[in-house]
Structure 1
Amino acid sequence: MGPRCAWCGTDPIYVDYHDTEWGVPDKDARALWEKLILDGFQAGLSWITILKKREAFQAAFDGFEPERIARYTEADVTRLLADPGIVRHRGKIEATIGNARAYLAIQEQEGFDTFLWRYMDGAPLQNEWASMAEVPAETELSHRISKDLKKAGFKFCGPTIVYAFMQAVGMVNDHTTDCFRHQEVKALGR
């Protein structure tokens, strides 16, 4: 094991996330949806905050089962706003309910995984960044995906959120070239 991407620092939660999850190509529709929702909750906050609350989010949102969340009512919104284990933001909570409905529509039409991965022609984009300073916060592609998600009814999915999501789920390999995970994740994308 060699050096890691600089962003993960030494926090054990971040290091584990970096070493096992970040950048690994994920083609499970429900897992992709959950990660997009969590990236939306992260807007304006640090990712470590969301990672530390991930289990609480999963419990509060019924395991991120979109079929259940799509039926949430104002009583559920009130319950979630009172839950100290999650980010209590009415707009993000209400967006999650609407996003569950949008997810179900896409899932029925073509599959959420197919919807997202078609932008990649089935394979992750393999970037070759020497340092985190080179890594963009958003790209032309993240703008396009964001626009299409919004057209499908999603909220809290701007181009920066979408790019962070693309990195997390391995649509792009943004491990820096000096990071030991760069080549490992690259091999997973083949």
Structure 2
Amino acid sequence: MKQNIFLLLFLISIGLSAQNATVCNLQKSDASNALKVDQNDLICIAKNSDRPYTVFYTLASWCAPCRMHFPDAVELEKTGKVNLFVVLVESEQDKRLGNAINFIKSTFENVKFGVLKDEIYGTKTGKRNKKIAKEITPTHNEMIADYGKFILVDQGGTVLYVTNWKDYNKDWQNSKKMLENKILPLIK
């Protein structure tokens, strides 16, 4: 019985991911199996979500805190109110992108993910990350171009919160505590 439920949930998540890709006109990268995304695509994905909120989690393959906090990003989806979509900040052509995809799939196989578009964000990881952080961070949040951001967007397409390293209050290893203080109150 448990296996049937997991299979059904897996099939639903694949269908919803495919639906978002179609509705938002998302294209696959020629260099990888990832969907290519920009700020407008992220908003479209959130607007077409089957849940009230979408968390976009930025991840770089070499970023130890990104990898450490990734399971907590996945846990947010278990609230039933959040869809998770991982945004890979490495270039579509970057050899490390495959490492990021393998890490995601080996950790949580069914997570939806995409890579920032090279034609909009360029190919230098730091500049790509800074540009998306600048574009998506609302004015009521401090914009810091760090990695491993939790970007909370409601189904209306409003960016409610974008985390940064200061949200951890000097306890950067404890993303659960940060999420309890910054993200979970916004989705209750």
Q: TM-score range by the shorter chain?
A: under 0.3
TM-score, structure 2 length as denominator? 0.25
Whose helix fraction is larger, Structure 1's or Structure 2's? 1
Larger RCO, structures 1/2 (Cα 8 Å, 6+ apart) = 1
Q: Which has the larger radius of gyration?
A: 1
TM-score, structure 1 length as denominator? 0.25
